Amino acid sequence: MKNFSLIIGSCALALMTSCKTAASGTSNQHTPYENLTRDGKIYAAFYQQRAAEYEALCLQAYNIAKLRLDEALEQNSDKPLAIVSDIDETFLDNSYYAVERAKMGKSYDQKTWEEWTAKGAATPLTGSQEFYQYAASKGVQVYYVTNRTENERAGTLKNLKKYNFPLQNENNLIVRSKESSKETRRNDIAKNYNIVLFLGDNLADFSNIFDKKTEVERSSAVKNSANEFGKKFIIIPNVGYGDWESSFYKYKYDDTDQQKDSMMYDAVKSNP
């Protein structure tokens, strides 16, 4: 009887231990939704707003752009020179909008975005004002090709003027009308100008070979265009949003944050 009691006690102890281990293991497992989509915007904005390394990356991009522009100015051209630039996260910092939305527990939507751009409150990225002013001072036409809409024109002009970004002609601000692709707008500029530089934070700011492509196709297109980066394509880092994110979600913009969160969590690797 004594041995039987000992056996029962040992079994009970083993069961308690196994239950405790299982409970501990469960607490470390990923839950279906951990706010990665929204909280990730906070972390990205923290880097964009606070990291000196980010400032250095911006300066590096604009310094290279100036070097390439000077090289172009030394060459003969059958057309006047122009540069084509995106706006958001290419030279204007909108991370404040992302932070405000995330702290409210919400994501991007067009209505609140337009309310933000109407304020004209986005701030210049480090080194941007000097570069664009330099380009204009050399007689180079600066075209701002953006996917902001016509509704956002007034706020955008207000923002550009506030920080003295050159606006040689108000037609140099080219907003989105119908299609999100910028190819037609770039081609229209190229009819009258020799575009020597494209500046953007998103690959689609450079060429239609990057438009609405899968992750694999985007990576392949980058490698095939390797010689253009730092030469004609000047890219500014943007870890907050972009087609790099949309392509991962297969451009399904109606997916919930929970769905995106789960996909993102499962996609990242903890081993090579």
What pLDDT shows up at residue 12? 43
Name the region of 88 (left: φ>0; alpha: ψ -120 to 50; beta: rest). beta
Do the Cβ atoms of 148 and 87 come closer than 8 Å? yes
The model's confidence at residue 169, banded by pLDDT at 50, 70 and 90, is: very high
Q: Cβ-count burial of 61 within 10 angstroms (0-12 exposed, 13-18 middle, 19+ buried)?
A: buried
What pLDDT shows up at residue 255? 87
The model's confidence at residue 15, banded by pLDDT at 50, 70 and 90, is: very low
What pLDDT shows up at residue 3? 47
The model's confidence at residue 16, banded by pLDDT at 50, 70 and 90, is: very low
Q: What is the value of pTM for the model shown?
A: 0.87
Q: Would you say residue 4 has pLDDT above 60?
A: no
What pLDDT shows up at residue 236? 98
15-29, 175-189, 199-213, 229-243: which range is least confident on average?
A: 15-29
Q: Which of 165, 171, 211, 202 is nearest to 189 (CA)?
A: 171
Do the Cβ atoms of 88 and 19 come closer than 8 Å? no
Q: What is the fold of 35-265?
A: Rossmann fold (3.40.50)
What pLDDT shows up at residue 38? 83
CA end-to-end span of the chain = 56
